[in-house]
């Protein structure tokens, strides 16, 4: 099965055939296994081992991944889903902004932005500690920080709103 994986503005073609993946034309052995009782997955790719948290995000094929203390949103669409998306027209970015939510229960250890601050896509917003790992949640798109919903030291549940971003035009 062929996928196009999008991380930020980067697109990578990935083909999965059994336990092998072809990433950007390079063949690698790969396996993915759930860690029982947790939202964690153990990923082995090309002899390198990674532990990551994977939570579904808004929209088809979208995931929030936590790896090496950072959180990133990715989109992985197979050929059929991409064709359907193309036929339906590219879905527009949320016009009214977006609320970044806690991907899992944890403790807010740092807040890196303030209300009214403009941010670029990928800017660190809040750091949440979960299962002894710090996860930096980043802006999924450019915008202006409309509201910071949490304080340092606050415990949050999965899905709790952390920061709401308004569209960049809202600051004008």
Ordered by where they begin, the domains of the chain are: 2-88 (3.30.700.30), 98-171 (2.40.50.100)
| Structure confidence by residue, pLDDT tens digits, 22-60 | 987 889 999 889 888 887 889 898 889 988 888 777 777
| Structure confidence by residue, pLDDT tens digits, 61-74 | 888 787 776 777 78
- 141, 142, 137: which is closest to 108 by C-alpha? 137
- 148, 98, 90, 103: which is closest to 129 by C-alpha? 103
Rounded to whole angstroms, the Cα distance separating 81 from 79 reads 6
Rounded to whole angstroms, the Cα distance separating 37 from 58 reads 23
> Once rounded to an integer, what is the mean pLDDT over residues 68-85?
80
Rounded to whole angstroms, the Cα distance separating 163 from 97 reads 11
Q: What is the pTM of this model?
A: 0.52
Q: How confident is the model at residue 95 (pLDDT cuts 50, 70, 90)?
A: very low
CB 126 within 8 A of CB 162: yes
Question: What is the pLDDT, as a whole number, of residue 96?
Answer: 47
Phi, psi (degrees; rounded to nearest 5) at 84: -60, -45
């Amino acid at each position: 099965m062929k996928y196009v994986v999008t991380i930020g503005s980067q697109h990578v073609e990935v083909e999965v055939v059994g336990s092998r993946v072809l990433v950007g034309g390079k063949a690698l052995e790969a396996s993915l296994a759930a860690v029982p009782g947790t939202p964690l997955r153990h990923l082995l790719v090309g002899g390198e081992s990674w532990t990551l948290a994977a939570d579904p995000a808004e929209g088809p094929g979208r995931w929030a991944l936590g790896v090496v203390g950072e959180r990133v949103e990715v989109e992985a669409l197979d050929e059929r889903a991409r064709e359907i998306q193309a036929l339906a027209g590219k879905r527009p970015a949320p016009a009214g902004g977006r609320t970044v939510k806690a991907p899992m229960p944890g403790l807010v250890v740092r807040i890196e932005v303030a209300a009214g601050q403009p941010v670029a896509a990928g800017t660190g917003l809040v750091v949440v500690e979960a299962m002894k790992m710090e996860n930096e949640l980043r802006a999924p798109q450019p915008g202006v920080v409309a509201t910071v919903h949490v304080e340092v030291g606050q415990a949050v549940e999965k899905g709790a709103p952390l920061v709401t971003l308004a569209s960049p035009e809202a600051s004008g």
